[in-house]
Amino acid sequence: MAQMESITGLDRKVRRHFKKVLSRLSDEFIVREPLLDESKIASIVLEGPCKSWLMIGWHEKWPNETELAKWRRFNSALLSKGYQPIKYLAVVEEDLKHKATSEEQADRFIHILDQKGFYIDGEKNIVDLLTESPLEQYNWVKKTIFPESAIHSQCTTRRSVSRVDNRASLQQFFLDYDQELATRFDMLEQVDSSEERQDDFSVRLINGVAGSGKTLILINRAIAFCKKHPDKKALLVIHNKPVTSDIKHRFEEWLGGAPSNLKIETFHQFALNQQKKVSNNCRLTPLFGDKAVEPLRAQILCDINESYTQLKLTDGQIWSELEYINEYLIKDENEYLEYERQGRGFALQKSQRVHIWKLYEMVVQAMSSPKGYLPSLYVKDLALLEDTTGLEKFDHILVDEAQFFAPSWLQLVKMSLISNGAIFLCADPNQGFLKSRLSWKSVGFNVRGRTKRLNYSYRTTYEIMVAANTLIEGIEDDADDFVKPDLEKMERGVKPQIIYSHTLQDEKTRFLNELSECCRSDDIPLQQIMVLCSGSYSPWSLKRDIENTLGKGTVVNCNDWKDIKDNIGGKIRLMSINSCTGMESGVTFVLGAGELMNQAKNIDLDDTERELAQQESLRKLYVAMTRAGQRLALFSTEKLPERVHEHVEVSGASLD
């Protein structure tokens, strides 16, 4: 059966009959409808075996020249490039009593077939009329009619790690059919189900494994939406700064710039802009990072506060609970005392919650002024607004790494949508380590029947994916949520390396030697290398160490907004593991894996809490490992789980 999406370009009265005919074709055929108006050469564009094509249209009467104009211009363009024209099958409703003119009879590239005949054995006519094309023509046709499926070669890791020139002029990449369907998900048809009409907006979810092309899908969908609807506004909202900078760099360097009706922002940029709009351009200073927060936090989490002394919890647990109140939009003390804290990892009695709320009131008082505002607090304030008229509204909002968005974040996204707008979510539930696992329904997104899964990873190799997946097997919270990768057709490569050291200093020295060897002996371009580090390292200090080894200007610290501004291309990318989601690179080094393994051991937790902390560490390491395209090296001062060792090459110090 042919691969087929909805055929909305045909009259409703014939769609079902056309689908019956097309379904009789083999699965080597792909039935598509052009998305953009300028690409609508025909109602149906059929791709067949051996890179063959056929245009198909339905007409009430013999097609006139106006109806065929786009097809004729397209074939003229093919001929001007020395390519073979593509035939057009016109299915006509009326009986063919029309007597063709001599000019029409001479046109061997158009074939007229009456509707009854097409319904009986149209698949035979289709096979006979296919036009095979060489690779160069195939690429041109697909990129011209379906530009939303094309990938610039510099925007993908689907190539060897080398200095070979793989620019688009030499090598063309396209989304696979599942990725293409995800990109076009419901963009061709008006959603008219009674269930959808009950909601004030539509939502679509793409669940995909690491490297399945979710970011490419978001970029291509954003471009396609903005081209198709130049009068509408779109927002691409992203979890972290490194990915945002990387996407903006792709647009500027290789994609001809972002559309004028598209905004690309981190969530916190977006939230700050919305705060500014509702407060009459009043600027506030967000308290980002420990340096800004710690002095104020220390005034609250201290022994002079009785509520603090009554809690037998770590400072980390208390602070995460205070943030939790904001992120889950808990309005008052009574609601908090009765709230089901599912997935929190540690229990709290009602008496303990009373003390937590008193500390929370201190946080609100100390950290909600324009001179210093806790981000989770002003996001909560925005998400609880009853009057949303002051917010900037968008027709279409696309969310990257949605599994890391807190309920308050998702609420603000919904509130920033016009009535009957659309939200498009991309997520990898296997990575869910930053926020407690939630159901989409619990945060107001009805994704049942509106979800597509992507199981195949293009980014990484079989060996890397198997090793990474071994880490998280058995710890998934919800089997329905877990996306198992399709390993059968994955590209083969070399096993990942684990290099053990006794001390962090030894680890860093070994890393710098390996990095230097990679750049000089293996001749790997700097832009194809990424370095990820755990909390044992400061990206700022590590950047100095790398530049002392390789030279000035060889690395960009993606955690430093000043460094990444207009400064990404042609350099090694360095960042913390916590900010690497959505990133990718041909060669990836991961430092401080031992620190991740030690986190659960170093905290005063009971057995259940320690197990949850260990699972979070394993997910972080999984994310870091799956950033790698072809080669991966892990550095650790602690032994990784034994089950991983059979899938990697182990070297360095003995830690037994």
Handedness of CA 533, 535, 539, 545 (dihedral sign): negative
Q: How many CA atoms lie within 13 A of 589 on its CB side?
A: 27
Residue type, 532: L
Instruction: Please identify which residue in the block is written with the tokens 């689907």.
Output: 158
Q: Is 211 annotated as a binding residue?
A: yes
Query: Was 222 annotated as part of a binding site?
Result: no
Rg (alpha carbons) of the chain, rounded to whole number: 28
Annotation-wise, does 210 bind a ligand?
A: yes
Does 372 belong to an annotated binding site? no
Strand pairing category for 368-369 and 372-373: antiparallel
C-alpha dihedral over 500, 630, 241, 578, to 10 degrees?
-30
Quick one: the chain helix, strand, coil %, rounded to 5? Answer: 45, 15, 40
What lies within 8 Å, CB to CB, of 390 at 6+ separation is 277, 278
228 CB-contact burial (10 Å; exposed 0-12 / middle 13-18 / buried 19+): middle
Length of the chain (residues) = 656
Number of neighbouring beta carbons within 10 Å of residue 656? 4
Tokens of 470: 């071994």
Does 633 carry a binding-site annotation? no
SS3 readout for 128-142: HHCEECCHHHHHHHH
Partners of 575 in beta bridges:
532
Residue from 361, 353, 355 nearest 307 by CA: 355
Contact 395, 229 (CB under 8 A): yes
Q: Which residue has the tokens 């259940």?
A: 608
Q: 406 near 267, Cβ under 8 Å?
A: no
- 208 labelled binding-site residue: yes
Residues contributing to the annotated binding site for ATP: 208-215
Residues contributing to the annotated binding site: 208-215
